[in-house]
Amino acid sequence: MPLPPIFKPLIDFALPPRCPVCGVTVEADNRFCLSCWQQLDFLVKPWCAACGLPLAFDGPEVSLCVKCLIEPPVHDGVRSVVRYNDLSSLIAMRLKYGTRLGLAKLIAEHLQKFVRESSDNAIIVPVPLHRSRLWRRGFNQSVLIGRELSRSSGIGMNYNVICRRKATPPLRGMTGKQRRRTVEAAFTLGDNLGAAISGKSVLLVDDVYTSGSTSSACARLLKKAGAKQVLVFCWARVISEAENG
């Protein structure tokens, strides 16, 4: 049960809100100090209409990046708050490895601005962990983010829609084809859950978007099960030098 508001000044005095990156005192919970805020590379339009990759120049609403012109993605867009770098990765790592579980709320607050792109008939689906990793870690960071986004947006979440039936090795160093082959066999739909997503706009929640192999594998399953739209929501996105243009 939350403490009465009368105790908040006392708590703030004893445990003042701090920047989640550098730890200096800030004005409120889940806020960055000015220095860290300026070092975060927030991703904004113009971006590719298909994958959400930032574009150098503004253009028509349907502007596509080169990669999506050649091979359109399975999903309907990636909505990332920031570019993945040394500073933004600290937020993801501190949440992922359990030192700052409250950061899920911070991430969800920033993802809230993308919710309006989904239809009224929406559902939040977190990217699952394999049970062996879940047992070791004790939680799924994507579920924590999804739960906070569900609370703030009023959109329901179902974390049983997709199951990770197979643990996958690290994807780093693999070619794109090897990554796809590795992750395609790792996921399956939960039993009798096709009706839960048929005709809906799915917000597929993860912490970091790297190559897109995992998100694409999940999106392919969701689309086969009848999802009308699949938007990938994440805190940070890795953007390679080639994608930088």
> Per-residue pLDDT for 245 more than 60?
no
Grouping H, G, I as helix, E, B as strand and the rest as coil, residue 178 is helix
What's the pLDDT band for 170 if we cut at 50, 70, 90? low
Residue among 241, 238, 164 nearest 208 (CA): 238
Q: What is the CB neighbour count within 10 angstroms for residue 68?
A: 16
**Does the CA dihedral 31-81-240-137 come out positive or negative?**
positive
Position 77 pLDDT exceeds 70: yes
**Among 124, 184, 117, 173, CA closest to 149:** 124
Local confidence band at 169 (pLDDT 50, 70, 90 cut-offs): low
**Whose structure tokens read 């359990």?**
98
pLDDT exceeds cutoff 70 at 5: no
Phi-psi region of 43 (alpha: psi -120 to 50; beta: other; left: phi over 0): beta
- In angstroms, the CA 26 to CA 226 distance is 45
| CA dihedral sign, ordered 205, 206, 209, 215 | negative
pTM of the prediction? 0.89
Question: Quick one: DSSP state of residue 224?
Answer: H
Report the pLDDT value the prediction gives residue 130, as an integer from 0 to 100.
86
CATH architecture entry for 75-244: 3-Layer(aba) Sandwich (3.40)
